[in-house]
Chains A and B, each alone.
Chain A
């Protein structure tokens, strides 16, 4: 009995391990492909560049992980980043402050502004019982509008030189800002796995009612998760300023989507309760490597835009995996019974039938470049329809 229980419990653990490693393997594979496809990919300059570009998304995604773990979502991080940036930018360029004080005050202001926005998000959704999707969608516009109003839609620049210098330091080729982000991930990991707050985040994501009945202040922990997300948006704003030397009210548009994508690719469940910031780290790296690699391969921005979500989805979707097996022909007998050709999905067959009825008459064949073969009226040749791959898209 006991051994039975043990093996039953051990199997999900092994699966979880493979799942966890899977993201890392996918990242390595992707890097391998890109390094084979482009000689520029595996250069120090390019990798530094990737890490620089990953940094802001990684910080936002780390905060987002907390919110998604409790089953919420924060759509406002991009706008909060902009609002924080213009306020911190105003502080840092305030006349009469020494550069050191200005930088400290600016970082403090960024954290406070991010915290306030996060607490507002959390308090409204937790105390009024409204879906965080709606509340943070509102905050997205409120924060952006406030940022524009605050600066008259102008950008702020001329930061102290020391500030911009910090943003460009490399440690053995690794940008120091990326190291800051990784340190933040480490802190977040510790908080999630070793504090009461972290335990409650997971518990609430899994079973909020059980936590409430155990006498814990659920609303407070939920607000805490949003506050963490807000603070991360504030820190991301500081990094943004240090890197670009500018605080613009139109910064960070659509950053929330990349952050959410990083969290989800990292294996955190959108319904909450499951996942980790380590996964998020890999998720952010995958997005960064993909974006960079596709540009190196010569895809335009627009093509890249379209390719990222598709490619990012590709290795993780169980549905895609099933289709791949089908293409190898493992499910062929059933497929043929349905009248499908080898490797062809039912949907692809249905789509094809009106124009080229494969099962009927002498004009059998596929809408491919090759010539129809009248001598094989009832059999489909396997090689011809590379074009039906779309039948596998989920």
Chain B
């Protein structure tokens, strides 16, 4: 198409955006994920899309790839309205996407993975292997993988090569826009550089790339323009040459910098240490050093960081849910060997996991039996269930946590998200933990219940419980915590006291702005 145009028209075409998103809205239930975002991607540019977790990046990608439909707003592709009815329609229209979690079939060959959607057939209707391999080789050449045999099984490749093969697969179909969702999350520095080279080659061929990333350094190295989303709205869109990483961080956070909402508590640093961790290296930590920190009684310590920075892994290792590579854990001054959750519970720890449905609750079972999951054996008599005691303690917990329910014998799946979360919290409070670990305690919880959960946690801290809370919502941590640690790439990059809280400072630490990304090669 563009090849037929004369130069004047080509200039105009270059000015006109290839993909223009205007005022797109999308709500899930009552929650507004997109509140009128706009975005315009020109032909032959690499366009970065950045924003905090929950800013609406993923929702927009899902709309563009036809996975979900928008509620309102205009999208134009190549000057004509674009309303994809399905992912297949989006692909046919020329929008290809490579997702963060790779969709490879590990035991099939590279060529089969590339051709999986359209296997070439010969006259007998069987797969034409030679043609498939030849097509795969040319697809691989577009991403610079000329030295690789397309008949190799994908399992034998490194993660970076898989990423490139995903891109090759996306490009093997008609493509005007290539969406890359967090393509560098698992890559080393050198691999990122190689990817950058390949992307600029694709750009020279006239492909437009929408690059979604958390790593601002890469955004500024690779991309031409950067658009910032915040709370489902477009905050700014500028050429990378005309803006700075600092400005982008500030735009992501917003003008209304969250001040500490609760009144500062009189800090009592003399309280004894509840938990001390020295050089804890989790299973997923590829670095040679681990994390070290201390937690005092009655303190609420926040653990901030991007998804994948290793926060959840630290909690799981502390609780003995996953084995750790090394590290010393002291509880109330005494060294503790935690090999399993049972050990941790014996030492007075409790762990509210991030996946309420998968790891926290037994959904079809009753509220009262969920509330007694942890201390079931202690309220039983000689192995016989003490149903009376179970009901009594469930009622008591319902009152103290104000769980709104029909009847405690109803299945816990009948409750709303916030009340389900209270049940998870309640089952742990039955054992009166001295150390409470919380992972995303208010995910999927409505605003009212959130405040109630914060109140419960503050009350526990006042009574001396040491609380370690992981959250992706910075305002939540800033409102709740006495102190916040920030993790990036499995390391603690900094600690802020309550007086020094600001989203900007936290984000800068989380994005590892002060620290160069470490080069770790082939660490799988």
* A interface residues (Cβ-Cβ under 8 A, vs B): 1-3, 5-6, 8-9, 12, 194-200, 202-203, 206-207, 209-217, 273-274
Knowing A206-B365, A213-B359, the reply to whether A6 touches B406 (Cβ < 8 A) is yes
Are B374 and A199 interface neighbours, CB within 8 A? Answer: no
Q: Which one of A1, A8, A195 lies within 8 Å of B383 (CB-CB)?
A: A195
Are A196 and B384 interface neighbours, CB within 8 A? Answer: yes
Are B341 and A212 interface neighbours, CB within 8 A? Answer: yes
Quick check: is B427 within 8 A (CB to CB) of the other chain? Answer: yes
Are B414 and A5 interface neighbours, CB within 8 A? Answer: yes
Are A196 and B376 interface neighbours, CB within 8 A? Answer: yes
Are A5 and B406 interface neighbours, CB within 8 A? Answer: yes
Complex: how many Å from CA A9 to CA B365? Answer: 12
Highest count of chain B CB atoms <10 Å: which of A198, A214, A217: A214
In the complex, what residues of A have CB within 8 A of residue B410's CB?
5-6, 9
- Measured CB to CB, the closest approach of chain A to B426, in angstroms, equals 13
Query: Can you name the residue of chain B whose Cβ is closest to the Cβ of A190?
Result: B384
Q: Which one of A195, A196, A215, A274 lies within 8 Å of B341 (CB-CB)?
A: A215
- Measured CB to CB, the closest approach of chain B to A70, in angstroms, equals 13
Quick check: is B227 within 8 A (CB to CB) of the other chain? Answer: no
Are A5 and B385 interface neighbours, CB within 8 A? Answer: no
- Residues of chain B from 315 to 360 with CB closer than 8 A to chain A in the complex: 319, 321, 340-342, 344-346, 351, 353, 358-360
Q: Which 10 A-B pairs have the closest CB atoms?
A: A5-B406, A9-B410, A6-B406, A215-B345, A215-B342, A9-B414, A215-B341, A214-B374, A214-B373, A206-B362
Are B385 and A194 interface neighbours, CB within 8 A? Answer: yes
Complex: how many Å from CA A3 to CA B383? Answer: 36
In the complex, what residues of B have CB within 8 A of residue A197's CB?
383
Q: Which one of A1, A12, A215 lies within 8 Å of B344 (CB-CB)?
A: A215
- Residues of chain B from 243 to 272 with CB closer than 8 A to chain A in the complex: none
Quick check: is B377 within 8 A (CB to CB) of the other chain? Answer: yes
Tell me if A's interface is mostly helix, strand, loop or mixed.
Answer: helix
In the complex, what residues of B have CB within 8 A of residue A210's CB?
358-362, 373
Q: Which one of A202, A206, A214, A216 lies within 8 Å of B363 (CB-CB)?
A: A206
Complex: how many Å from CA A194 to CA B380? Answer: 10
Complex: how many Å from CA A5 to CA B407? Answer: 9
Are A2 and B363 interface neighbours, CB within 8 A? Answer: no
In the complex, what residues of A have CB within 8 A of residue B464's CB?
none
* B interface residues (Cβ-Cβ under 8 A, vs A): 319, 321, 340-342, 344-346, 351, 353, 358-365, 369, 373-374, 376-377, 380, 383-385, 387, 404-407, 410-411, 414-415, 427
**A-B pairs with beta carbons under 8 Å apart, 23 shown:** A5-B404, A5-B405, A5-B406, A6-B407, A8-B414, A9-B411, A9-B414, A195-B385, A197-B383, A199-B369, A199-B385, A202-B365, A210-B358, A212-B321, A213-B341, A213-B359, A214-B374, A215-B340, A215-B342, A215-B374, A216-B342, A216-B377, A273-B364
In the complex, what residues of A have CB within 8 A of residue B351's CB?
213
- Measured CB to CB, the closest approach of chain A to B346, in angstroms, equals 8
Knowing A194-B384, A195-B385, A213-B351, the reply to whether A2 touches B406 (Cβ < 8 A) is yes
Are A211 and B373 interface neighbours, CB within 8 A? Answer: yes
Complex: how many Å from CA A204 to CA B341? Answer: 16
Are B361 and A9 interface neighbours, CB within 8 A? Answer: no
Complex: how many Å from CA A198 to CA B387? Answer: 13
Complex: how many Å from CA A50 to CA B407? Answer: 43
Highest count of chain A CB atoms <10 Å: which of B360, B376, B407: B376
Complex: how many Å from CA A274 to CA B340? Answer: 28
- Measured CB to CB, the closest approach of chain B to A292, in angstroms, equals 36
Complex: how many Å from CA A197 to CA B319? Answer: 24
Given contacts A8-B406, A203-B369, A213-B321, 13 further A-B contacts (CB under 8 A): A5-B406, A5-B414, A9-B410, A194-B385, A196-B385, A198-B385, A199-B385, A200-B376, A206-B362, A207-B358, A213-B360, A214-B345, A214-B427
Complex: how many Å from CA A12 to CA B364? Answer: 11
Complex: how many Å from CA A210 to CA B359? Answer: 4
In the complex, what residues of B have CB within 8 A of residue A199's CB?
369, 376, 385
Are B364 and A274 interface neighbours, CB within 8 A? Answer: yes
In the complex, what residues of B have CB within 8 A of residue A214's CB?
341, 345, 373-374, 427
Complex: how many Å from CA A79 to CA B12? Answer: 80
Are A195 and B427 interface neighbours, CB within 8 A? Answer: no
Query: Can you name the residue of chain B whose Cβ is closest to the Cβ of A9?
Result: B410
- Measured CB to CB, the closest approach of chain B to A286, in angstroms, equals 25
In the complex, what residues of A have CB within 8 A of residue B407's CB?
6, 9
Complex: how many Å from CA A202 to CA B370? Answer: 12
In the complex, what residues of B have CB within 8 A of residue A273's CB?
364
Q: Which one of B359, B364, B387 lies within 8 Å of A206 (CB-CB)?
A: B364
